[in-house]
Chains A and B, each alone.
Chain A
Amino acid sequence: MKTLRNALIALVLIGLVMPVFAGGQSESNAAAQGGGDVTEITFGSWRVDDVDQMNRLIAAFNEEYPNIAVVFDPTTPPDYNATLRLQLESGIAPDVFYARSYATGQELFSEGYMLDLSDEAYVSERYDDGARAPWQMPDGTQFAMPLVAVSHGVYYNQDLFDELGLDIPQTWDELMNVAQQIKDAGYIPFANGLADEWDIAEVVWMNIAPGFLGGRKARLAYEAGERPFNDDAMVSVFEAMASLTPYLPDGYQAINYNDSKALFLLGEAAMWFDGSWTISEFEASNPDFNWSVFAPPAPTADAQAITFHPDAGVAINPASDNIEAAKTFVEWLSGPTASQILGNELAGFFPMVADAPTLTNEHANDFLALNNGRDLDVRFPWPKLMNGDPSGYTLIQQGSINVITGNITPQEAADQMEAGLSQWYEPAM
């Protein structure tokens, strides 16, 4: 009996150790290629889902530059900022890394963790002023090269829309009407939920807000202190948020982003507010699923606006041992070959170069088509409202959650925004 038990324990221990030996093989394949003197640089990113695509991009780079090996080393999005900061502060950061736009990026640059790219000709030649702005300091210093933007919209299940004979809604009232019909037919109108919190802010509120507020011009007016953050337009965004409540899934309070994806993919929910970055995941997990995307409805059809957000720039670590190789890689990323691969491999991430490549991915083109004839703007709080406590982001997030659950009224949510921002944001004081 005792020997049997000991044998079992030994077996478990062996089982514990086995994977270790199995693991040895997968290590170094990046440096294996190209003989000779190979410089290795690491490329940090928050796109953990893009490893295969990035490796194809890097392979194309290596056809031209066989002597620079690039290792793609991504971290999950919620951890990226903290991770990068820690790595930079302790001197173990990647040589080239994805840079967040606006405040988060500016903060890192002013602490000396990004190389000044103002004098790199390819940055100013290949990108418009508008594209460069999100990665500039207030004085115009360029701390990162623009790479890709993401778009936002409303995903919808085409088969279900056909089956129920629904038209694409243009105004918010039409959207509510469509939602009611979907609900009556026994489906969930919107797959969104509140559990993860970030998505209700970033893909719902910030998705619909430009249409209600008046697009980019309106944002600039809020930022300049010309409009209070609790004016009627702001209240109407929160009213729209509150009007979603009856059309969210049962138990929406505890539905997280992944649940939303599954509800939509399984055909249980007909619509879903989200961003373009989910395209490739949907195509991979269910290629037969027939879906498309429409522009977020606004109070009137001609007020529709699209949140086309500068998502990722590329920065160079000034502490890198291989700055030249890093610069070569970054310059190559701005070129036509890279843009072509980026746009098509990373469907849903749109290269920001001035002469953008034509895309072959159908869904990506669906998203791009939404831009035609509509005002474009970035996510509302990103440019100016992030860098204080409470941040515009937190106020939007908590306000949205609280109006959806009915804890506070839309007016109260807007008032809280005004009160919160006026604590630290000077133009609002």
Chain B
Amino acid sequence: MTARSFRLPRIPVWIWYMLPGLLVYTAFMAVPLFKSLQLSLYTGSGFQIDTFVGFDNYRRLLTEGEVSQRFWGAFGHTWVFFAVHMIVQNSLGLLFALLLSSEAIKGRALYRTIIFIPATLAIVVTGFLWKLLLNPQWGAVNLMLEAVGLGAFAQPWLGIEGVSLVVISLVSSWQWVGIPTMIFLSALQAISGDLFEAADIDGASSWTTFSRIKLPLIWPMMGVVAILTFTNNFNAFDVVFAMAGANGPPNYSSDILGTYFYRVGIAGEHPVGIPDMGLGAAVASIIFVVLFVGVLVMRTVFQSDGTDD
């Protein structure tokens, strides 16, 4: 007791500045995360998760009938969801950034403002709005296709297996394209104008300027964007929930890890609604591991390539 009270003043003063934030962060973020890993080894009903079952929840998820079928489905769909964002959202972002970085374009500020608007909307709002627009009977999308003579392409977009997931991913890309645009734009604008002038004098084509000068300089930013896309997509839930529902219809084809986690660990399956929290925790732990490994891998990929040149 006395020893401790002697030591007290010796605690560096900065600890006291850090402590409140650190405590809240630890108690409500770090601890729940790690407890989730632990919880995944238990089973029970409702909040009484107290029977230790080892890796049984993981065995069920990875190998057992219906459960594993849903899990692997959701796992695969999450990668598709991620891939569409990487390809569509990030390429468009890069394209817009390249266009906007040219001094000669008038109205840059206006374009920039508009491109970024969707990013400020709530994901649920975007989801509900697009759900209405994609409605097969009254939705604007199909009516527009008909108006321009492409009525044959009108589809029940959210009702077809395989199509639905891609459409949802595209809507989500529509929403978030402003983020990579701005990141790339700030990287491009940081590139010194001298470089381009020099290239211009050398008579370099615009492709050469892009691939030889701009690309290597924004390569590290691509890493940032890729990691950001990755973490956001493996964590996604709202957009599928709003557009398709917690089951990821049709036939679970737009079910992603976020919706699966919600169904299994939190809400329970309709209409009985009894969650299996141990199994849910196992899903969460797998998401955790995928994110952790994925981010590490991406960091090395983009860092090493960036320093090679």
What is the interface of chain A, defined by CB distance below 8 A to chain B?
78, 81-82, 85, 89, 100, 103-104, 107, 111, 193-198, 249-255, 259, 262-263, 386-387, 389-391, 393-394, 398, 401-402, 405, 407, 420, 423
Contacts and interface: CB of A to CB of B under 8 A. Distances in A.
Interface in B33-57: 45-47
A107 B274 contact: yes
Nearest to B48: A111
B159 A253 contact: yes
B183 interface: no
B251 A401 contact: yes
Given A198-B271, A254-B160, A402-B251, 5 more contacts: A81-B273, A104-B271, A195-B249, A386-B272, A390-B66
B146 to A, nearest CB: 12
Contacts of A198: 270-271
B257 to A, nearest CB: 19
A386 B136 contact: no
A265 to B, nearest CB: 13
User: Of B67, B247, B249, which is in contact with the most chain A CB atoms at under 10 Å from its CB?
Assistant: B249
B84 interface: no
User: Of B66, B156, B157, B275, which is in contact with the most chain A CB atoms at under 10 Å from its CB?
Assistant: B156
Contacts of B67: 389
Given A82-B268, A89-B47, A401 B250 contact: yes
B268 A81 contact: yes
A82 B136 contact: no
Contacts of A250: 136-137, 156
A197 B249 contact: yes
Which 5 pairs of residues, A with B, have the shortest CB-CB distance? A251-B136, A253-B159, A254-B159, A251-B156, A81-B273
Given A111-B46, A194-B249, A196-B245, A104 B137 contact: no
B21 interface: no
A391 B250 contact: no
Contact of A254 (B136, B270, B272, B275): B136
B65 A195 contact: no
A352 B273 CA distance: 25
Contact of A391 (B155, B159, B269): B269
Given A389-B66, A390-B66, A253 B160 contact: yes
Nearest to B67: A389
A253 B66 CA distance: 23
A305 to B, nearest CB: 22
Interface string B55-68: 00000000001110
Mostly, the B contact residues are loop
A135 B269 CA distance: 21
A78 B270 contact: yes
B94 to A, nearest CB: 31
Contacts of B156: 250-255
B175 to A, nearest CB: 20
A407 B251 CA distance: 10
Contacts of B164: 254
B158 interface: yes
Contact of A249 (B137, B161, B270): B137
A398 B269 CA distance: 13
B83 interface: no
A197 B245 contact: yes
B157 A254 contact: yes
B158 A254 contact: yes
Contact of B134 (A81, A103, A254, A262): A254
B273 A85 contact: yes
A254 B135 contact: yes
A195 B158 contact: yes
A72 B134 CA distance: 36
Interface string B266-287: 1111111111000000000000
Interface string B71-96: 00000000000000000000000000
Contacts of B66: 389-390, 420, 423
Nearest to A393: B271
6 contacts: A81-B273, A82-B267, A104-B271, A254-B136, A387-B272, A390-B66
A198 B273 CA distance: 14
A384 B167 CA distance: 38
A251 B137 contact: yes
Contacts of B45: 111
Contacts of B46: 85, 89, 111
A253 B161 CA distance: 9
Contacts of A420: 66
A195 B271 contact: no
User: Of B134, B138, B250, which is in contact with the most chain A CB atoms at under 10 Å from its CB?
Assistant: B250
B159 A252 contact: yes
Contact of B247 (A81, A197, A262): A197
B136 A194 contact: no
A407 B160 CA distance: 11
B278 to A, nearest CB: 14
Nearest to B249: A197
A195 B251 contact: no
Nearest to A90: B47
